[in-house]
Amino acid sequence: MILTVTLNTALDITYRVRSLRPHASHRVSDVTERPGGKGLNVARVLAALGHEVTATGFAGGGTGRAVREGLADTPGVLDALLPIGGATRRTVAVVDELTGDTTQLNEPGPQITPAEWGAFQEVYGELLAGASAVALCGSLPPGVPVGAYAGLVRTARTAGVPVLLDTSGEPLRRGVAARPDILKPNAEELAELTGSHDPLRAAQDARRRGAHAVVASLGADGLIAHTPEGRWHAAPPARMDGNPTGAGDSAVAGLLSGLVDRLPWPDRLARAAALSAATVRAPAAGEFDRATYEELVERVAVTAEVTAA
């Protein structure tokens, strides 16, 4: 089974309004809710690809109950979330019907107690015993130490389980030093970590900081990978129009799926880039369009990069 960790799960709410105007009152014409947080998005895509997935992290309060009810309706994802005293955060995406643009409001997340964090680390260790790979995804809720991912990376490496890290800011800086097998930042996170806006140079720097391999998502430009086996650029055959929400999480799912299927790097990258593009194309945010994926996975161009090392 593949394990995904989402310490700051969310109830993702999407509102449709005619046009968002600051300081006005708006009638919401349509409301949708689903379990969110990057690791849960990764779990959903992995399950849709046919993998056995276990999702762990924290959930609490009425919003946590809604997240767990949503997970129970997702075939193939085993719910191993730990109950907490606080309430799972909400995110609210307000979609303008006129322009299609989205305004995002993200709650900070519940306060995690030291006892809850301790209990999580114990459960995480037990779950790793049955895992073929683990993904550590997203922000940390208040109360979880900033070095949390560094510790979880080390535990996975000690257990011999390949570990992918996808986070930002200081948790990323600390986490990379613990030597994760794969680091999956986007261009902005990679630039913040390294100070370089040249993705290949920055990926190389991130490897020097500890990551075994770095795969950076560059939006419509696809993915670049900097690994001990080589350097590649994976790009879909055409730019996709649509909603990029969750595209990075689908790339993570593609990388893990290719890893546990023992694919060579170029095939892993094709899978990740095709899933990412098929997510942009799907009508609902964070879902992927299966027909688009199956068509694209054969057509993604993966080219070896030959730049100054």
| Binding of a copy of itself by 108 (CB under 8 A) | yes
249 carries an active-site annotation: yes
- Return d(Cα 13, Cα 35) in angstroms, integer: 9
12, 205, 249, 289: which one is catalytic? 249
| Binding of a copy of itself by 72 (CB under 8 A) | no
| Binding of a copy of itself by 97 (CB under 8 A) | no
- The nearer residue to a copy of itself, 105 or 238, going by C-beta atoms, is 105
The alpha carbons of the chain give a radius of gyration, in whole angstroms, of 19
Contact residue for a copy of itself among 75, 104, 118, 283 (CB under 8 A): 104
CA dihedral sign, ordered 110, 112, 116, 121: positive
- The nearer residue to a copy of itself, 107 or 295, going by C-beta atoms, is 107
Give the CA dihedral 23, 29, 32, 38, nearest 10 degrees. -40
- The nearer residue to a copy of itself, 105 or 301, going by C-beta atoms, is 105
- The nearer residue to a copy of itself, 76 or 143, going by C-beta atoms, is 143
The first and second tokens of residue 247, run together, are: 């595209």
- Return d(Cα 42, Cα 256) in angstroms, integer: 9
Burial annotation 56-79 (CB, 10 A radius, 16+ → b, else e) = bbbbbbebbebbbebbeebeebbb
| Binding of a copy of itself by 106 (CB under 8 A) | yes
| Binding of a copy of itself by 58 (CB under 8 A) | no
- Return d(Cα 211, Cα 203) in angstroms, integer: 9
The first and second tokens of residue 213, run together, are: 């391999």
Q: How many chain residues are in contact with a copy of itself, going by CB under 8 A?
A: 31
| Binding of a copy of itself by 18 (CB under 8 A) | no
Element (H, E) at 158: helix 148-158
Residue 213 contacts residue 226 (beta carbons within 8 Å): yes
| Binding of a copy of itself by 21 (CB under 8 A) | yes
| Binding of a copy of itself by 262 (CB under 8 A) | no
Stretch near a copy of itself under the rule CB under 8 A, chosen from 58-66, 178-186, 259-267, 296-304: 58-66
| Binding of a copy of itself by 26 (CB under 8 A) | yes
What are the backbone angles phi and psi of residue 211, rounded to the nearest 5°? Answer: -70, 135
| Binding of a copy of itself by 111 (CB under 8 A) | no
Q: Which residues are catalytic?
A: 249
Q: Which residues of the shown chain bind a copy of itself in the complex (CB under 8 A)? A: 13, 15, 17, 20-29, 31, 62-63, 65-66, 90, 92, 94, 96, 99, 101-108
